């Protein structure tokens, strides 16, 4: 395994980075044109950002390049030569590597198994002693690590993402395509990883195409960019020649951006949600929640900050009834709360968990059905609680799709076919469209374009202003600082620090996140 | 009753376990391999019966029981291959196909097997592991069939291969996350087709044991649902080949409780003890279904859990 980072002299003399060009790429899904004649050029050794709002076709474009989809029209040039990529394996053999928007590590395999099996020359019989040694040597050269001995299913999102990127570097690919690689990373982790990749592009070791919604990352790391809108390439150029306003305008055209909702003062009411000594076990059986105590008043947003993997996801799972409590109680308006469907309905508890495609939808059911999950068995969607009437369901779905601007071909499309950001919107539409007393949200803006971020944050704020008690778990500290009334830091499965947002600052929060007093 | 009665019962149970567990073992291993690749084959009961018939017929005509075993495996592989091929077609449900294949397998076995109910075919020999003990009962109990050893070796091989070979990892990958496997350029359909075929081979060999060793003749009532129980055993063994073997032995041992007690004169509850393996399976399934561990070991692509 020769790696780009190893100091083999031959690598230094011949730049290995690959250039890529698409000519007139077109891809349709049924009658819907997801990509319309897209031509785009990525120079060898450049760090190219691909921008566009949710559903613009960014993922479709890179998947077509990788041979995951077959473009209807158009060709692909690698290093100036036309290349035939029929499937992802061809792409890998040509030196193209991609981190997909949804994780592609195999959950039941360990990190090490995932890395080794992804290699084209994976040996028929794997000598684990030798491979482990090689992997350790490889990891020593990397600026970040990921656990290799645990099954991927037990890793936190950030760890998985690092492992995905490590995999490409391990495979020694010459052009990396990253589809929103930083959504699940903390800003520090993101800077670290992108900085490393940037260094490699500067040295001419690799070229990078990155899809991102974060302008900060574009201006800090990318050299060039392209913007897609509704499947067409509408502009691009060198990053240093453009302002973020210009980029934003290219992305959304003339659509107005929703104004940020203002925080109304003195809305705070009585305690609505109380978590008393919550204890729960993780998948491995070890305790992951160690007495979480927290009170949330109505009309208040409590933001939970913390380094990923400190129990935040499990806390959300407990609150959404996906994980049993070992001990402790949840009270809603001073009454003990059991996570039943009926209780959620009665007490008006809603939520948006992380990885909504997995945790809040059924990918193969239609958008309309998914939108009706909360109320499909209640009038007007159902008579007597069991006779469903699709008519009202569809009408309601149409209305929600329009109101929340979910981009879907029709209410009858499978929700798994929507773009990442639109799945998120569909779930929010379902959860926020009614009256809300308690709202539990985890990383609500993960993967959304800036217009949607503004919109969703303002919706959360609006619910707070209307008197909902909001628990906001977020790995994005800026989001917490913007939205929360109080911040709580979670560390090692317990709340390590709570403070009104006005009485603390980034540094203090950061210190508690790192586990220092 | 005297002091040695418990011992006799234990020896009888051991003997029973060693005698009847092999077909369970083979079918469970076949199903384990198939399910690891992300597909369910409920047709293995049919494969087992067809394997038994084929083995008997080939052994009868060729005079070589081992040729019969091979033929049983090939017949099983053919059935598995058909199942694998049909399931590749779009919108086909593997559970439904499996049930159809079960009926198909038993059907053709009975059809072609009519001629072989009467004649006697050469049977597989056995290995005596217990002669040194000087105890006649123990020696009989420890008479084992070479196929059992083959089964244990296959299980160890599978267990090792799932962790240490490219093929093993690819099978697990296809079974756990088809999109990931496809993203790596693996043809998931092909992997499943091959796994189903190989799984059918193993189940066919399990059938050969029935007709060529114990009970050791061919008739239509030969299999009493072993093929179906084996599917349950796989779940209970949490998709681990080694645990499949253990489960098969446990199942065999509980099945031997009734006859063992009868042999020392305890006849009360005979039918109850005959049902013991099924009751045991039921309880173990209930216990293990609730555990988080079981949930984690399930291959993510199985249509029954999707
Ligand atoms: N397999 C599919 N079948 C049908 N339609 C699809 C499929 N994949 C994508 N689409 C549609 O194509 C459009 C573009 O989707 P794509 O995933 O490329 O968007 P994106 O730019 O990556 O958005 P996001 O930022 O939200 O990830 C969307 O409207 C989506 O609904
Ligand atoms: Mg996308």
Question: Tens of pLDDT along chain A (517 residues)?
Answer: 444 444 333 344 456 889 999 999 999 998 889 999 999 999 999 999 999 988 899 999 999 999 989 999 999 999 999 999 998 888 988 999 998 877 789 999 999 999 999 888 889 999 999 999 999 999 988 767 889 999 998 887 778 888 988 898 898 889 999 998 877 677 777 888 888 889 889 988 889 999 998 888 999 999 999 999 999 999 999 999 999 888 888 888 777 666 667 888 877 889 999 999 999 988 767 889 999 999 999 999 999 998 777 889 899 999 988 899 999 999 999 999 988 888 888 899 999 888 788 888 898 899 999 998 888 877 777 777 777 788 888 888 999 999 888 888 889 999 998 987 889 889 989 998 888 999 999 988 877 888 888 888 988 999 999 999 999 999 888 889 999 999 999 988 999 999 998 899 888 888 888 776 5
Q: According to the model, what pLDDT value does residue A313 have?
A: 87
> Is A151 inside any structural domain?
yes
Q: Is any Cβ of chain B less than 8 angstroms from the Cβ of A87?
A: yes
* Judgement on whether residues A167 and A309 belong to the same structural domain of the protein: no
> Is A355 inside any structural domain?
no
Mean pLDDT of B83-96: 90
Residue whose pair of structure tokens reads 């077509």 in the numeric block: A64
* Judgement on whether residues A287 and A391 belong to the same structural domain of the protein: no
Q: Which of B170, B183, B292 is opposite residue A104, by nearest beta carbon?
A: B183
Q: Is any Cβ of chain B less than 8 angstroms from the Cβ of A153?
A: yes
Q: Which of A68, A108, A116 is opposite residue B172, by nearest beta carbon?
A: A108
Tens of pLDDT, residue by residue over B171-203, are: 999 999 998 888 787 899 999 999 999 999 999
* Judgement on whether residues A454 and A331 belong to the same structural domain of the protein: yes
Residue among A26, A57, A211, A226 to mutate when testing ligand 1 (max atoms within 8 A of CB): A57
Residues of chain A neighbouring B164 (CB-CB closer than 8 A): 125-126, 128
Contact: A106, B176; criterion CB under 8 Å: yes
To test the contact with chain A by mutation, choose from B180, B292, B305 the residue with the greatest count of A C-beta atoms within 10 A, namely B180
- Distance in Å, alpha carbon of B302 to nearest chain A alpha carbon: 13
* Judgement on whether residues A186 and A276 belong to the same structural domain of the protein: no
Contact: A104, B179; criterion CB under 8 Å: yes
Q: According to the model, what pLDDT value does residue A219 have?
A: 94
Tens of pLDDT, residue by residue over B134-180, are: 888 888 888 888 999 999 999 999 999 999 999 999 999 999 999 88
Contact: B183, A88; criterion CB under 8 Å: yes
Domain boundary assignment for chain B: 5-122+149-300
Neighbours of ion ligand 2 (CB under 5 A): A 59, 101, 420
Q: Does the Cβ of A424 fall within 6 Å of ligand 1?
A: no
Domain that holds residue A285: 255-348+435-517
Q: What is the largest CA-CA distance in chain A?
A: 76
> Is A375 inside any structural domain?
yes
Ligand that lies nearest to the alpha carbon of residue A25, given by its number in the listed order: 1
> Is A82 inside any structural domain?
yes
3-state secondary structure string across chain B: CCCCHHHHHHHHHHHHHHHHHHHHHHHHHHHHHHHHCCCCCCCHHHHHHHHHHHHHHHHHHHCCHHHHHHHHHHHHHHHHHHHHHHHHCCCCCHHHHHHHHHHHHHHHHHHHHHHHCCCCCCCCCCEECCHHHCCHHHHHHCEECHHHHHHHHHHHHHHHHHHHEHHHHHHHHHHHCHHHHHHCCCCHHHHHHHHHHHHHHHHHHHHHHHHHCCCCCCCCCCCCCHHHHHHHHHHHCCCCHHHHHHHHHHHHHHHHHHHHHHHCCCCCCHHHHHCHHHHHHHHHHHHHHCCHHHHHHCCCCCCCCC
Structure tokens at A259: 């104004």
Number of domains within chain A: 3
Return the CATH number at A507.
3.40.50.300
* Judgement on whether residues A430 and A448 belong to the same structural domain of the protein: no
Residue among A51, A59, A411 to mutate when testing ligand 1 (max atoms within 8 A of CB): A59
Q: Is any Cβ of chain B less than 8 angstroms from the Cβ of A128?
A: yes
- Distance in Å, alpha carbon of A107 to nearest chain B alpha carbon: 7
Pairwise CA distance, residues A205 & A379, whole Å = 61
Strand boundaries in A218-299, DSSP class E: 224-229, 232-238, 271-281, 287-297
Residue whose pair of structure tokens reads 């319309």 in the numeric block: A36
* Judgement on whether residues A64 and A123 belong to the same structural domain of the protein: yes
Question: pTM of whole model > 0.90?
Answer: no
* Judgement on whether residues A70 and A87 belong to the same structural domain of the protein: yes
Q: Which of A98, A123, A153 is opposite residue B166, by nearest beta carbon?
A: A123
Residue with the smallest CA separation from ligand 1 atom 24 is: A54
* CB-CB contact of A299 with A468 (8 Å): yes
Q: According to the model, what pLDDT value does residue B173 have?
A: 94
Indicate if the pLDDT at residue B292 is higher than 70: no
Structure tokens at A20: 């890529």
* Judgement on whether residues A171 and A160 belong to the same structural domain of the protein: yes
Q: Does the Cβ of A57 fall within 6 Å of ligand 1?
A: yes
* Judgement on whether residues A430 and A442 belong to the same structural domain of the protein: no
Contact: B173, A109; criterion CB under 8 Å: yes
The rounded percent of chain B whose pLDDT value lies above 90 is 51
Ligand that lies nearest to the alpha carbon of residue A407, given by its number in the listed order: 1
Domain final position from A223, A252, A281 = A252
Q: Does the Cβ of A70 fall within 6 Å of ligand 1?
A: no
Neighbours of A346 (CB within 10 A): 12
Q: According to the model, what pLDDT value does residue A7 have?
A: 39
* Judgement on whether residues A73 and A164 belong to the same structural domain of the protein: yes
Ligand 1 mean position, distance from CA A180 (Å): 14
| Cα-based distances in Å from A7 to A145, A171, A228 | 20, 16, 38
Domain final position from A205, A231, A252 = A252
Contact: B176, A113; criterion CB under 8 Å: no
Domain final position from A410, A434, A458 = A434
Ligand that lies nearest to the alpha carbon of residue A446, given by its number in the listed order: 1
Q: Is any Cβ of chain B less than 8 angstroms from the Cβ of A283?
A: yes
Ligand 1 mean position, distance from CA A228 (Å): 12
Q: According to the model, what pLDDT value does residue A81 have?
A: 93
Q: Which of B176, B183, B296 is opposite residue A100, by nearest beta carbon?
A: B183
> Is A356 inside any structural domain?
no
Ligand 2 mean position, distance from CA A366 (Å): 19
What fold does the segment set B5-122+149-300 form as a domain? Answer: ABC transporter involved in vitamin B12 uptake, BtuC (1.10.3470)
């Amino acid at each position: 395994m020769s790696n780009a980072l190893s100091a083999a002299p031959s690598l230094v003399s011949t730049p290995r980075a690959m250039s890529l060009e698409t000519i007139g790429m077109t891809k349709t899904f049924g009658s819907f044109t997801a990509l319309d004649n897209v031509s785009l050029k990525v120079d060898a050794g450049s760090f190219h950002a691909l921008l566009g709002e949710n559903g613009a076709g960014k993922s479709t474009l890179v998947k077509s390049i990788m041979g995951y989809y077959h473009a209807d029209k158009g060709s692909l040039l690698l290093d100036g030569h036309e290349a035939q990529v029929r499937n992802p394996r061809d792409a890998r053999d040509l030196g193209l590597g991609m981190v997909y928007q949804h994780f592609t590590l195999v959950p039941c395999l360990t990190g090490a198994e995932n890395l080794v099996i992804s290699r084209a020359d994976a040996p028929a019989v794997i000598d684990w002693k030798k491979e482990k040694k090689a992997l350790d040597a490889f990891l020593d050269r990397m600026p970040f690590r990921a656990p290799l001995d645990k099954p991927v299913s037990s890793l936190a999102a950030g760890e998985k993402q690092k492992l995905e990127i490590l995999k490409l570097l391990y495979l020694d690919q010459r052009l990396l395509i990253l589809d929103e690689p930083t959504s699940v990373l903390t800003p520090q982790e993101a800077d670290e990883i992108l900085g490393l990749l940037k260094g490699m592009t500067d040295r001419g070791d690799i070229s990078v195409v990155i899809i991102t919604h974060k302008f900060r990352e574009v201006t800090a790391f990318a050299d060039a960019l392209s913007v897609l809108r509704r499947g067409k390439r509408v502009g691009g150029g060198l990053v240093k020649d453009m302002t973020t306003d210009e980029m934003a305008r290219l992305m959304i055209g003339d659509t107005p951006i929703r104004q940020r909702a203002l925080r109304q003062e003195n809305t705070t009411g009585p305690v609505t949600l109380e978590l008393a000594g919550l204890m729960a076990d993780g998948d491995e059986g070890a305790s992951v929640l160690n007495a979480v105590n927290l009170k949330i008043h109505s009309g208040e947003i409590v933001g939970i900050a913390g380094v990923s993997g400190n129990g935040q996801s499990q806390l959300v799972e407990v609150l959404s009834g996906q994980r049993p409590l070992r001990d402790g109680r949840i009270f809603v308006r001073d009454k003990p709360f059991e996570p039943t469907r009926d209780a959620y309905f009665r007490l008006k508890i809603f939520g948006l968990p992380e990885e909504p495609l997995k945790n809040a939808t059924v990918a193969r059911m239609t958008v309309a059905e998914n939108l009706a999950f909360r109320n499909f068995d209640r009038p007007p969607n159902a008579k007597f609680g069991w006779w469903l009437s699709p008519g009202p369901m569809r009408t309601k779905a149409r209305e929600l799709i329009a109101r929340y601007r979910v981009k879907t071909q029709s209410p009858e499309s499978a929700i798994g076919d929507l773009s990442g950001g639109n799945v998120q919107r569909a779930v929010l539409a379902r959860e926020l469209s009614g009256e809300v007393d308690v709202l539990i949200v985890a990383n609500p803006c993960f993967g959304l374009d800036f217009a949607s971020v503004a919109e969703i944050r303002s919706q959360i704020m609006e619910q707070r202003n209307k008197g909902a008690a909001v628990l906001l778990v977020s790995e994005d500290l800026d989001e917490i600082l913007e939205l929360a009334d109080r911040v709580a830091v979670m560390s090692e499965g317990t709340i390590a620090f709570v403070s009104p947002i006005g009485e603390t600052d980034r540094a203090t929060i950061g210190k508690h996140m790192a586990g220092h007093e | 009753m005297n002091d040695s009665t418990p011992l006799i019962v234990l020896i009888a149970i051991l003997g029973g376990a060693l005698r009847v567990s092999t077909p369970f073992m083979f079918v469970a291993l076949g199903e384990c391999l198939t399910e690891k690749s992300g597909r369910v084959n409920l047709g293995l009961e049919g494969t087992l019966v067809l394997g038994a018939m084929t083995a008997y017929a080939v052994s009868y005509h060729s005079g070589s029981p081992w040729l019969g075993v091979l033929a049983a495996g090939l017949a099983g592989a053919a059935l598995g291959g058909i199942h694998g091929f049909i399931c590749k077609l779009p919108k086909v449900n593997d559970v439904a196909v499996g049930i159809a294949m079960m009926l198909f397998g038993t059907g053709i076995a009975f059809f072609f097997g009519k001629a072989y109910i009467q004649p006697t075919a050469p049977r597989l020999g056995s290995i005596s592991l217990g002669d040194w003990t000087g105890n006649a009962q123990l020696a009989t109990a420890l008479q084992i069939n070479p196929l059992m050893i083959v089964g244990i070796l296959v299980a160890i091989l599978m267990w090792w291969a799932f962790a240490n070979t490219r093929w093993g990892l690819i099978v697990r990958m296809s079974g756990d996350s088809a999109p990931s496997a496809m993203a790596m350029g693996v043809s998931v359909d092909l992997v499943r087709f091959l796994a189903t075929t190989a799984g059918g081979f193993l189940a066919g060999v399990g059938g050969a044991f029935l007709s060529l060793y114990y009970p050791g003749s061919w008739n239509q009532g030969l299999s009493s649902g072993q093929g179906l129980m084996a599917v349950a055993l796989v779940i209970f063994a949490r998709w681990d080949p080694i645990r499949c073997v253990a489960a098969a032995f446990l199942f065999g041992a509980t099945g031997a409780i009734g006859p063992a007690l009868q042999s020392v004169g305890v006849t009360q509850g005979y039918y109850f003890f005959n049902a013991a393996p099924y009751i045991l399976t039921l309880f173990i399934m209930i216990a293990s279904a609730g555990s988080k561990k079981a949930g984690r070991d399930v291959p993510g692509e199985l249509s029954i859990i999707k």
